A and B are shown apart, each in its own frame.
Chain A
Amino acid sequence: MDVRGSLSRFAQGVGIPRLLIGLFLVFLFVVAYIQKLPMAMLLNGALVRTAMNGILVLAMVPTIQAGVGLNFGLPVGVVCGLVGALLAMEHNLRGFTGFGTALAIGIPLAAVAGLLYGQLLNRVKGQEMMVGTYVGFSVVAGMSVFWLLGPFRNPEMIWVVGGSGLRYTLTLSNHYGHVLNQALNFRLLGVLIPGGLVLFYLSFCLLMAVFLRTRVGMAMSAAGSNPAFAAASGISVDNMRLLAVVLSTVLGAVGIVVYAQSFGFLQLYVAPMFMAFPSVAAILIGGASTRRASVLNVIVGALLFHTMLATALPVTRTLMEGDISEVARIIVSNGMILYALTRGRGGN
């Protein structure tokens, strides 16, 4: 009866950003259908992109919940994951052994780095996002010196000329490239589903959802939503924030290894510098704010954002020259972050 009222209720329930991006996706798929693009391939590409980036998006949940905010310092975890991935490659480990070793080295490294980074963030409450951004940037720049001087000897990894220093991009195809992507694949209605990759991603989501419902997880969220109340009920707010930063950093390390094996390459030097921004944008698109986030926000946001990125390029390419999807990515992701930062209360 009251069509307009229920429509506006629907729009409010779903949220304007998700509605707009959802409509844009529908538009993209309609154009793709008209242009006779292979739909099964588009959908497969979207799923792969979502799942390979998903854990990096998930890394935002603990810090937001604990009141640390959007973790712009994600590159701290990413470089730890890269060190693990490089060591596995240096010793010529292949397949799941290589992938597992990369994680086994990357995770403890990230835990230690996260502990230090978290200590720092506890001392700069209120400015975590800005400090985190620049800690991330400087870690990436500092590690660039390490990539040049580090004791890597594998000829597949270092420059041919000069005999030292890691290359900008390392190919993983002889090592553990696509191990997850090629595991447990199946077809559903003609679409190739990357079973292993999706399963790996969703199991991390499930773990996070379960963790948030445990006693510790709830204490962590309490420390974020009302620090004074949490402290009064005997929760150590600083320790909870520390735990959140460690979790986020570890997820950053796991996330980059999963990303790299799916991409097929390890990207070094300045490549990890802006790794945090798409993840921040994705979780915000999923409906999170700078103070509240859930696993559902991750799943929805990663799916919408990365499906858009995966389909926009092939679709717009049929319509016009040049890569407008890259520009759309910059505008949409930063516009989303800007929207989240300017929403709600001002002041400290």
Chain B
Amino acid sequence: MALSRQPAARRIQSDVLGIVRQNAVPLLFLALGLAGVLATGMNPYFLANETINRLARNSFLVLSLLIPVTAGLGLNFGIVLGAMAGQAALIAVTHWRIPGLSGLGLALALCTPLAVGLGWFAGMILNRAKGREMITSMILGFFMNGVYQLVFLFLVGTAIPMRNPAMLLTQGVGLRNTQDLELIRWSLDRLVYWRVSGFSFPVLTLLAGAALCAVLMFLARTKLGQDFRAVGQDMHVAEVAGINVDRTRIIAVIISTTLAAWGQVIFLQNIGTLNTYNSHEQVGMFAIAALLVGGATVARATVANALVGTFLFHLLFIVSPFAGQRLLGQPQVGEYFRVFVAYGVIAVALGLHAWQKRQQVLRALARDKLAAAEVSGD
């Protein structure tokens, strides 16, 4: 009642303030990005095309993070496992020299069972580490990176019979540091490629991202989607309600890992070269930072967060070396600054979430204590 008697102008003002407060993180990054754009005076066409390109190739990976957040597993640093599966498939396709769309299709088909297997494995591990899934998924990524290196640096050419001088190191064991993906480069991006007055659009890649958004939104309305939410909100309540919590969590991780594998294949067909031992390492970190920049938290992430975050994070990514060059005369400063931003955003988001969760727990405890005191008082 009091609210309705407020003058309209004040109401609008408080609405605006509310919106600002709710979207503080994306707005801050928008301001940072715009300041960078203004400071560098970049060519708007270059900026726009670069942003579209990055949005197309990265959004799939960022979207792969959503389901584990809903299911209460937090940010799945384990998507690097999916990225590794995608790369393994691309390495096989490159070895067999299957070009273009068929090569890409085969890579997607090959990486799927691998990613499902790895996702199942990761889900089993994370079920044994409830309450510390994030750190565990991160260490799991490091661990599997070791296994990945063991396979592609020492087993290829020995246990795995592969003879391909173009791909292997000179002694015939282990893959070279970089693999040329020229055969499948842009096989998706340039299949339908629109150029409209200076802007270029990789239509199918953008459509793939859009399709994934639609599927994820549809999934949220199914029984499985409800189960994810129920498990994410309270595992015990979900268990009592007859949901198989462990199984639901494993499914969430499997979906996430598989989407990440496809995302990495899409990403690399755009880049065109594979850094055999590095391409996957940063995938988790950058995708997570992008999602958080979009205003997501450890417990709540939407498709909109993912898309806005990918856009803003990569805007900053494009701009900061130029800004560092322009403002301080050193592009390196900008590069370290953006790394700092990526890590800092994650640190702040994790910290804030843990702090809020703790406040909730403390409030609940105080309430229980009060109730107990009342009961004993009677």
**Which residues of A are at the interface with B, using a C-beta cutoff of 8 A?**
72, 120, 123-127, 129-131, 133-135, 137-138, 140-142, 144-145, 148-149, 165, 269, 277, 320-322, 324, 327, 330-331, 334-335, 337-338, 341-342, 346-348
Q: Are A148 and B136 in contact (CB under 8 A)?
A: no
**Contacts of B353-373 to chain A: CB distance below 8 A:** 353-355, 357-358
The one of A126, A129, A134 that contacts B357, using a Cβ cutoff of 8 Å: A126
Inter-chain contacts of A347 with B (CB < 8 A): 130-131
User: Which of B47-55, B189-197, B339-347 faces chain A?
Assistant: B339-347
- Chain B contacts to A: CB under 8 angstroms: 125, 127-132, 134-136, 138-140, 142-143, 145-147, 149-150, 153-154, 171, 173-174, 328, 330, 332-333, 336-337, 339-340, 342-344, 346-347, 350-351, 353-355, 357-358
Docked pose: A341 CA to B154 CA in angstroms: 28
A134 and chain B: residue at smallest CB distance = B347
A342-B137 Cα distance, complex, nearest whole Å: 11
- B349's closest neighbor in chain A, by CB? A134
A131/B146 in contact, CB under 8 A: no
**In the complex, how many angstroms separate the beta carbon of A237 from the nearest chain B beta carbon?**
13
Q: Residue B355 contacts which of A123, A142, A145, A342 (CB distance < 8 angstroms)?
A: A123
A118 to chain B, nearest CB (A): 13
What B residues does A348 contact at CB under 8 A? 131
Of the candidates B130, B143, B328, B346, the one having the most CB atoms from chain A within 10 angstroms of its own CB is B143
The reply to whether A126 and B355 contact each other, CB–CB distance below 8 Å, is no
A342-B129 in contact (CB<8A): yes
Contact B145 A330 (CB under 8 A): yes
What's the least CB distance linking A270 to chain B, in Å? 8
* Nearest A residue (CB) for B347: A134
Q: Which of A127, A130, A331 has the most chain B CB atoms inside 10 A of its CB?
A: A130
A341 proximity list for chain B (CB < 8 A): 129, 132, 135-136, 139
What residues on A are CB-neighbors of B328 within 8 Å? 149
* Residues of B with C-beta under 8 A to A126: 131, 354, 357-358
Contact between chains at A277 and B142 (CB < 8 Å): yes
Q: What residue of chain B has the Cβ atom nearest to residue A290's Cβ?
A: B132
Known: A138-B344, A269-B336, A327-B154. 17 other contacts (CB 8 A): A126-B354, A126-B358, A127-B353, A130-B135, A130-B350, A138-B346, A141-B342, A144-B340, A145-B340, A149-B328, A165-B332, A321-B173, A322-B174, A334-B143, A341-B129, A346-B130, A348-B131
Inter-chain contacts of A142 with B (CB < 8 A): 340, 344
List B contacts of A331 (CB < 8 A). 143, 146-147, 150
Q: Is A327 touching B131 in the complex (CB atoms < 8 A)? A: no
Distance A140 CA – B344 CA, assembled complex (angstroms): 10
Query: Are B125 and A141 touching (Cβ within 8 A)?
Result: no
Known A145-B336, A346-B129; judge A123-B154 contact (CB<8 A).
no
Are A338 and B143 within 8 A (Cβ)?
A: yes
Q: Are A135 and B336 closer than 8 Å at their CB atoms?
A: no
B343 and A141 contacting across the interface, CB-CB below 8 Å = yes
Q: Nearest Cβ in chain A — how far from B329, in angstroms?
A: 9
A145 touches B129 (CB 8 A): no
Which A residues lie within 8 Å of B147 (CB)?
A: 331
Give the docked Cα–Cα distance between A6 and B75 (Å).
Answer: 45
Are the C-beta atoms of A334 and B340 separated by less than 8 Å? no
Contact A330 B143, beta carbon cutoff 8 Å: yes
Query: B143 near A327 (CB under 8 angstroms)?
Result: no
Q: Decide: B343 and A327 in contact? CB cutoff 8 A.
A: no
Bound together, the chains give a CA A259 to CA B171 distance in angstroms of 35
